[in-house]
Amino acid sequence: MQSLTRSTPRHLSRRLLTLRPQQSRPASRYSSPDARPSTLAAPTEPFTFRAPDSPLTIPHPEINPYDAAALRTAALEKRRYHLQRMRFAGVGLVLSLLMTAGVVWNVDLDQMGPVEGTGKKIGGLRADAPSGVVETFQGKEVKVLGRGEGKKILAKVEGEEGEVELVETGTSSVPHFPRTIRIPAAGSEEQYTLLGLGIRTVSFLSIQVYVAGMYVRTADLSKLQAQLIHAVNPMASTLIPSEQESLRTALLDPTRSAELWQGTLSANPEIHTAWRVVPTRNTDFAHLRDGWVTGIGKRTAEARQLAAAAPAPLAGQVKAISQYEAEDFGLAMKGFMSLFAGGKAPKGSVMILSRKGNGVLDVWFQEKAPSGAPDESSVAKAGSKSEVRLLGSVGDERIGRLIWLNYLGGEKVSSEAARKGVAEGCVTFAGRPVGSGEGMVS
């Protein structure tokens, strides 16, 4: 048999060729790209932020389809899981609706329009309206004189000599308050001077309700000065800076402020004061009345708690009832509430609560003055649309005193901003010699 030559395989059967051992040499890293080492290892599992044992995943244990108890437990567990998700979704939906409603309610549509501007800074803070919105006061042009602390804002009063000085409130809805107002008294008018002001807000959204400012009869400023100064230093005629700080602390302290104003309103009945309230949105008499009645209720409840904590009377003595539990006080409250039966208080209208020397409370109301009408700081002429009218009076001095304390003293007041504004005004007047307040206003 001839030996196999190099050309022999060509004559052999393909089947025999397949039986020959195949010699394969290892692939080189240069000849096979797949054999090259790689520094990037392919991930074995898809990337996820969820932890391996996350409680949000629904377990899917293997359940015996013939085990009724296991099937019922699994169904209850699945139902509980979906109910919990529905509750969370419902709470989120309700909160979203409440937030949307609060924002819509707090938006002043009257100030929204094609007004261009970037806003004006007031006291280091940017106002919430363009500068053009606050350049008029009751339809009259406003002039600004000076800058910084010495700045004065004046508005021309039609039909009267001179100009009215204005004070910025910090809100575009009611941008200014007059420095002085006039309130009818015994057929004439008496001038009152602004002591301090602030914005009343409600709810956690800080929705603005109205701007409230406290006024003191200009002729009584020296009496109030003496009362405030002697409350800190009985021998002084004015307060030095350290004593002014003590007065500020006392006026803002929940306990000391109530005691100080309680003594001021009771010991000096000849001091005439007033609160000027201007709504920042359309409201009605009932809404304003409910706020004051709620404050009176809180004060009377505190008085009842103090009376209950008093020591028991001795044998044979009758325990004295609180002054707010007497029948005449209840009748006075009914009379006060009846003054606000019906009536609208649109945005920009004025409600004035004036307290006379004998404690009698007068309630005045003035409609929003139209553009070009006489200034709201003075009494409008009879027959005009912005005429000041007397809603009524309350003879019980406790009603007015409780309303005043609800703004000025105690732990919770109707407007903390108003209390701080009044406190700053008191400190300013107490830092001057007694009797200089009237001259400063004139």
- Tens digits of residue pLDDT in 50-109: 555 545 455 556 778 888 888 889 899 999 999 999 999 999 999 999 888 877 776 655
Give pLDDT, residue 358: 82
Residue 383 class from Cβ within 10 Å (0-12 exposed, 13-18 middle, 19+ buried)? Answer: exposed
Helix H or strand E encompassing 202: strand 188-202
Vertex 188, ends 187 and 193: CA angle to 5°?
140
- Alpha-carbon distance of 320 to 299, in angstroms, equals 18
Give pLDDT, residue 155: 76
Where residue 198 falls among pLDDT bands split at 50, 70, 90? very high
- Alpha-carbon distance of 64 to 256, in angstroms, equals 74
Longest dimension (CA), the chain: 153
Sort residue 316 into left (φ over 0), alpha (ψ -120 to 50) or beta: left
Please name every residue paired with 131 in a beta bridge, in sequence order, or none if there are none. none
Tell me the whole-structure pTM to 2 decimals.
0.68
Helix H or strand E encompassing 141: strand 140-145
- Per-residue pLDDT tens digits for 303-323: 787 777 766 665 555 555 677
Q: How far are the Cα atoms of 213, 214, 381 from residue 181, in angstroms, in the given order?
A: 11, 11, 15
- Per-residue pLDDT tens digits for 328-385: 899 999 999 999 988 899 998 999 999 987 889 999 999 876 544 434 444 433 334 4
If one compares 422 and 10, the residue with the highest pLDDT of the two is: 422
